[in-house]
Amino acid sequence: MTGAAERVPRAPGAHGGEPSLRTWQEPAYSRWAFTHLAELIPTATIARSIAPADATRRLDAFAPALPDLERRLVDSHTDAFLVLRGAEVVAEYYAPGFGRDSRHLLMSVSKSLCGMVVGSLVDDGLVDPERPVVDYLPALAGSVYDGPLVRHVLDMQIEIDYSEDYLDPASEVQTHDRSAGWRPRRTGDPADDRAFLTTLRGSGEVGAFQYCSAHTDVLAWLVERVTGERYPDVLARRLWSKLDADHDALITVDSTGFGFANGGVLCTARDLARVGRVMLDGGSARGGRVVSERWVSEVMAGGDPDAMVDPGFSTAFPRGSYTRQWWCYGNDRGNVGGIGIHGQNLWLDPPSDSVIVKLSVWPDPDTAEWHDLQAAILLDVSAALDTLP
């Protein structure tokens, strides 16, 4: 536990260091690089099946209650829409050029997956939410994380100098993106994602909600620290491998191989619905328990509504809250979800025992108008589920 340079190595070579475009074919690195080349060189998918030329539309179940559902999906730039009630897919829609086997970027729905992984580590006694963050990550001493507890990171209750303005080149979120390899680097940018996290400052006061993507990457770093494994590997072992998923998921990585936990996961709609089922099934999956029933029940019960000071959310959902990387709507149906910019949603509807997945490509990243439109569709579909046989 020696400071900022500490890393969970991506691919330790025989002579130290990490692989690069210059060295990946050398014996010290080739064994790792030959099976992880997509982390070094851009790749294209050779699909196992071809998306149909026309959209897949199977929305008949909702035609009586929501005859305009398809139009609303088109108008909200939907790529994939799926309703899973119990074990049955009762509705499915894919836009032209997109299909059942197509992976889609989840953006910040990725955060909810990270929250489940952390929950599994809490269950196993490897992480204590009541301990200070720097107990696990001493490299963050002197940063805004020097003082807050792990639970404050999970619930995003830290006052931090971090602008989440996705369109402002001067915002911290864009610097974060550049450090993680999502945008072209600029002179003076931190070398990688972890280095960026050590630069964050702010009052560090805790208690009020402030949305900040950096918090999730701190959690992923903590996951690596307590397991000694790379975050993508822990995500696979503790969640994805237990889902009986149709496909591998993907996650973007920075120059050190650190997974972009806050927004970089890609998967199919059907496999994402399986993640939702884990939550509705009390933490269990086909391949075994992912997280404890207690952890899930506390998420589904919601966090502290008094801490939710985000007007964009609390205006629409006055009893809404955020806890453990999940949005809790505080409405009569007890809806809980993962939300990502440009229209990504993993929506849990406990009364109907249903999961709704909506993956979209809004032209704007994050506006009240788009969120209101999306929420209206999800709420109307939830209500319509009550009318199905």
Q: Which residues are catalytic?
A: 108
Cα–Cα–Cα angle for 334, 337, 339, rounded to 5 degrees: 145
Three-class secondary structure of residue 270 per DSSP: helix
Contact 247, 265 (CB under 8 A): no
Distance CA 19, CA 30 (A): 8
Strands (E), the chain: 56-58, 78-85, 88-94, 104-105, 250-251, 265-267, 284-285, 288-289, 321-323, 326-328, 336-340, 344-349, 354-360
Burial of 195 (0-12, 13-18, 19+ CB in 10 A): middle
Contact 19, 33 (CB under 8 A): yes
Distance CA 106, CA 341 (A): 9
Contact 310, 211 (CB under 8 A): yes
Three-class secondary structure of residue 380 per DSSP: helix
Distance CA 337, CA 340 (A): 10
